[in-house]
Structure 1
Amino acid sequence: MKKLSLLLTLSVFLASPLFAVSYPPSVQEPVYLKEDDVMTTGTKVHMFHSGTQDVRNASKTGDILTIYREYPPDLGVVTKQTGKIKVIGTIGDYYFEGHVIEGFAQPGSLAMKGTTACIITTRLKQK
């Protein structure tokens, strides 16, 4: 019985690396993210920030923020500048309203000025 158990355990142990699959991270953004709600020049957006005084002092109405996207988004090994956003107002304590003035943005992209960043959350729905 011990020999049979040892033989089965050994065969599983030796065969398991043959079935393991590993994929290297891609440096290009997946297709499903490229098609997901791309906000181009002229689109108004909401940008979430921490609400701290540092962010409020760094970003004011009229400031231009640079948009960055990470490739691949979950690993963050490479960042790419994709456009610029102009801050056109504030919405409550935690949101800026912005206007894409160059390039494009997507939900989850970062809008940065210096060392402060906002997360682009949604497109502003036109009424």
Structure 2
Amino acid sequence: MKKLLLLLTLPVFLASPLYAVSYPPSVQEPVYLKEDEVMSAGAKVHMFHSGTHDVHNAIKVGDILTVYHEYPPDLWTVGKQTGKVKVIGTIGDYYFEGHVIEGFAKPGSLAVKGSTACIITTRLKQK
């Protein structure tokens, strides 16, 4: 029985490398990601965080956070610094309000200070 099973699975193991395809990660981002809303200097943003005491102790109003954009997040080990955001207030227990002061930010980018990070979710609509 074992020999029959081995005999039947052998062609699968021998042929599987022939059908494997891998593509290197692209240096340039796809067009659909470039169409995302980019928040440049002067835009106000929402930044989501965990709401723990560690975050509230590490990030205060007036702090400047460095913005990193990672693409693709599952392949890159190092983020690309794209700008800076100044924390100008808090919104409830889980959000900071920020102001882009340098470079740009996109939804999904990380705003980092030390080992603490917030996710930039949306921009505030200007009235």
**Aligning the two structures, in what range does the TM-score lie when normalised by the shorter sequence?**
0.7 to 0.9
Taking the aligned partners of 1:57 and 1:81, their CA distance within structure 2 comes to: 24
Other-structure match for 1:115: 115
Structure 2 gaps of 5+ residues are 1-6
Taking the aligned partners of 2:17 and 2:72, their CA distance within structure 1 comes to: 26
Aligned pairs for 1:37-76 within 5 A:
37-76=37-76
What is the TM-score normalised by the length of structure 2?
Answer: 0.83
Aligned length: 123
**2:32 is matched by which residue type in structure 1?**
Y
**1:39 is matched by which residue type in structure 2?**
M
Stretch deviating more after TM superposition (17-26 or 96-105)? 17-26
Shift of 1:111: 0.3
Other-structure match for 2:18: 18
Taking the aligned partners of 1:115 and 1:14, their CA distance within structure 2 comes to: 47
Check conservation: 1:27, 1:78, Cα contact below 8 A: no
Other-structure match for 1:92: 92
Structure 1 gaps of 5+ residues are 1-5
Taking the aligned partners of 1:18 and 1:82, their CA distance within structure 2 comes to: 41
Secondary structure at 1:87 match in 2: strand
Stretch deviating more after TM superposition (79-88 or 64-73)? 64-73
The CA RMSD over aligned residues, in Å, is 2.1
Shift of 1:85: 0.3
Task: Kindly provide the CA deviation profile for residues 40-84 of structure 1, in whole angstroms up to 9, marking residues without a partner as x.
Answer: 111111000011111111111111110011132232322111000
